[in-house]
Amino acid sequence: MKYKKSAGQNAKERILDVSEKLFAEGSFASVSVRTVTSAANVNLSAVNYYFGSKKGLFQAVYVRRATLMNHERLGLLQKAVGKAQQEGRAVSVRELINAMLTPPIFWLYEEEKGLSGYIRFLARAYLEAASDMENVLSQEVDVFDKFVPYFQEVNPSLTVEDIYWRIHFIMGVMHHTINHLDRIGLLSHTACSVETREQTRDRMVAFCCEGF
Amino acid sequence: MKYKKSAGQNAKERILDVSEKLFAEGSFASVSVRTVTSAANVNLSAVNYYFGSKKGLFQAVYVRRATLMNHERLGLLQKAVGKAQQEGRAVSVRELINAMLTPPIFWLYEEEKGLSGYIRFLARAYLEAASDMENVLSQEVDVFDKFVPYFQEVNPSLTVEDIYWRIHFIMGVMHHTINHLDRIGLLSHTACSVETREQTRDRMVAFCCEGF
DNA sequence: CTGCTTTCTAAACGTATGTTTTAAACGATA
DNA sequence: TATCGTTTAAAACATACGTTTAGAAAGCAG
């Protein structure tokens, strides 16, 4: 029941790869279907054939890696939970924030597999018209919800409100770093370099831990 | 030497007001000249007449309030510096971060004068194509440079690199709050409300102070 | 009023947009 | 080989875009 042609199923993947990168660098409206299709070396109508519409393509780009992304975060969370239980203690703030930030930041440095593009795409998707992309955000929100009880456990004096505000700030640190990592040198007059992914992650985690 | 007509100079201001609001809610490419002109009740060609081009309009929106914005920040900085000198001490981290964050956050809550729109516009301008808008960012970068020596004075163990990274994170907290303040209730499942401008500012300052 | 500059209007220009249509090329199956 | 569903291709569609043009309307100076 499988049908293939010259590029076959690759065409669909190639469109996703290319538009992921393009949507990461520009807004939804600024990236045209023609730019996508010519960069992917497919016919103009391929986008509408495979994804129905431009918006459909955008959502498909999101969906492709969304589950994997949040899977990694929850994996790190459960790993930390297991380790803490074994040692008979509560999960630390550092471990929690580490689980939230490590996947996106490591992906950000993973140019080869295209993961970097996806992360930057995600950060931009947050700013597209809320009405279109609310479902885009809902999944990430659900993941962060799972962290809340642990934050509460490790610091019972905090209200739920306090915790959500701090998660909000952590997301800010994360998104801004994703969006402007390449401009950090310009901001600092070349005082800051891009460093390794671990160094960047550690800087962020340290900053956010203290904030908590 | 002044010439006026029906609406006269108001037309130009009205275009700026309207496009400030529209550019705050959507990307540069997603806001059309026709949307702007019809919302401002002016002729289609008014944008090109007054600002030369759509991009010219965008930059004019930025320029109109840019100096005032950074003036307020530097004013707060110098006020804090003066008070500290009088008391024979160094400027505190809290005072510095307060001077950085109070103007934009207070403006964010100032719906009437349109300042809220400008702040949201600014946060979005950071994400427009770097080549077009680098000059947009340069001024804000210059302002933050002025804060660096004071951060160094209050905490001499920090390197310049450390400081710039933390300023970068503070900008992240700020931009994210500006972009998503209206969604904080959704993120937290209505656990968080929008609060007053002072409460929001204090939450941000507290988080960023600890991060430093 | 007469000149002159500024402001506003309506229409058109050329191009770029997302999408649809029509048909050809292809791979697997029978 | 003939057939069927899938994929690719080229062209056209209708609309939306930023910008330009030509001229009318309006305000000021003499």
Q: pLDDT digit string (tens) for B175-211?
A: 999 999 988 888 888 888 878 999 999 999 999 998 8
B29: nearest CB among A29, A165, A210: A29
Chain B nearest CA to A109, separation (Å): 18
Contact in structure between A24 and A124 (CB atoms under 8 Å): yes
Chain A nearest CA to B191, separation (Å): 5
With a pLDDT cut of 90, the percent of chain B lying above it is 74
Q: What is the mean pLDDT of residues B124-146?
A: 79
Sign of CA dihedral B188, B191, B194, B197: negative
Contacts of B94 (CB under 8 A, 6+ apart): B205, B209
> Contacts for A194-200 with beta carbons within 8 Å, 24 or more apart?
A196/A109, A197/A105, A197/A106, A197/A108, A197/A109, A200/A105, A200/A109
Residue A6 has pLDDT above 80, yes or no: no
> Contacts for B143-147 with beta carbons within 8 Å, 24 or more apart?
B143/B70, B143/B73, B143/B74, B144/A187, B144/B100, B144/B171, B145/A189, B146/B74, B146/B77, B147/B77, B147/B96, B147/B99, B147/B100
Angle of the B93-108 helix axis to the B160-180 helix axis, nearest 10: 20
Q: What is the pLDDT of residues A33-86, one digit of tens each?
A: 999 999 999 999 999 999 999 999 999 999 999 889 889 999 999 999 999 999
Which residue type, as a one-letter code, is found at position B193?
S
Of A171-175, B85-89, B208-212, where does mean pLDDT reach its minimum? B208-212
pLDDT band at B38 (very low <50, low <70, confident <90, very high): very high
Residue in A132, A144, A145, A173 to test binding to B, most B beta-carbons within 10 Å: A173
Chain mean pLDDT for chain B: 90
**Per-residue model confidence (pLDDT) at position A21:** 96
* Cα–Cα dist B147/B168, whole Å: 13
Residue A133 has pLDDT above 60, yes or no: yes
* Cα–Cα dist A115/B83, whole Å: 49
- In chain B the domains, ranked by start, together with CATH numbers, are 63-211 (1.10.357.10)
Q: What is the mean pLDDT of residues B98-117?
A: 92
Residues B131-163: b if buried by 16+ CB within 10 A, e if exposed: eebeebbeebbebbeebbebbeebeeebeeebb
In A40-159, where does DSSP find H-type helix?
46-51, 54-86, 93-108, 115-125, 130-154
**Per-residue model confidence (pLDDT) at position B131:** 63
Distance from CA(B52) to C1'(C11), angstroms, rounded:
20
In B93-196, where does DSSP find H-type helix?
93-108, 115-125, 130-154, 160-180, 184-187
Distance from CA(B163) to C1'(C17), angstroms, rounded:
45
Residue A127 has pLDDT above 70, yes or no: yes
Residue A144 has pLDDT above 50, yes or no: yes
**Per-residue model confidence (pLDDT) at position A9:** 57
Q: What is the mean pLDDT of residues A187-203?
A: 90
> Whose C1' is closest to the CA of A46: which nucleotide?
D8
**Per-residue model confidence (pLDDT) at position A13:** 95
Of A91-105, A182-196, B123-137, where does mean pLDDT reach its minimum? B123-137
Contacts of A78 (CB under 8 A, 6+ apart): none
**Per-residue model confidence (pLDDT) at position A132:** 63
pLDDT band at A131 (very low <50, low <70, confident <90, very high): low
How many C-beta atoms lie closer than 10 Å to residue A7's C-beta? 13
Are B164 and A187 an interchain contact pair (Cβ–Cβ within 8 Å)? yes
**Per-residue model confidence (pLDDT) at position A207:** 96
* Cα–Cα dist A125/A128, whole Å: 5
**Per-residue model confidence (pLDDT) at position B130:** 67
Residue B133 has pLDDT above 80, yes or no: no
Contacts of A73 (CB under 8 A, 6+ apart): A99, A100, A103, A143
Contact in structure between B21 and B114 (CB atoms under 8 Å): yes
Residue A114 has pLDDT above 90, yes or no: no
Which residue type, as a one-letter code, is found at position A149?
P
**Per-residue model confidence (pLDDT) at position B173:** 97
Contact in structure between A187 and B167 (CB atoms under 8 Å): yes
**Per-residue model confidence (pLDDT) at position B4:** 47
Which residues 74 to 133 of B reach strand C, CB within 7 A? none
Closest residue to D5 by CA to C1' distance? A3
Contacts of B151 (CB under 8 A, 6+ apart): B93, B96, B158, B163, B166, B167, B212
What is the four-CA torsion angle of A56, A57, A61, A67, rounded to 10 degrees?
30
**Per-residue model confidence (pLDDT) at position A195:** 85
First-last CA distance in chain A: 55
Q: Which two tokens stand for residue A134?
A: 């609310």
Are B173 and A169 an interchain contact pair (Cβ–Cβ within 8 Å)? yes
Residues A156-175: b if buried by 16+ CB within 10 A, e if exposed: eebeeebbbbbbbbbbbbbb
> Whose C1' is closest to the CA of B1: which nucleotide?
D28
Residue B95 has pLDDT above 80, yes or no: yes
Residues from chain B contacting residue A201 (CB–CB below 8 Å): none
* Cα–Cα dist A133/A54, whole Å: 13
Residue B114 has pLDDT above 80, yes or no: yes
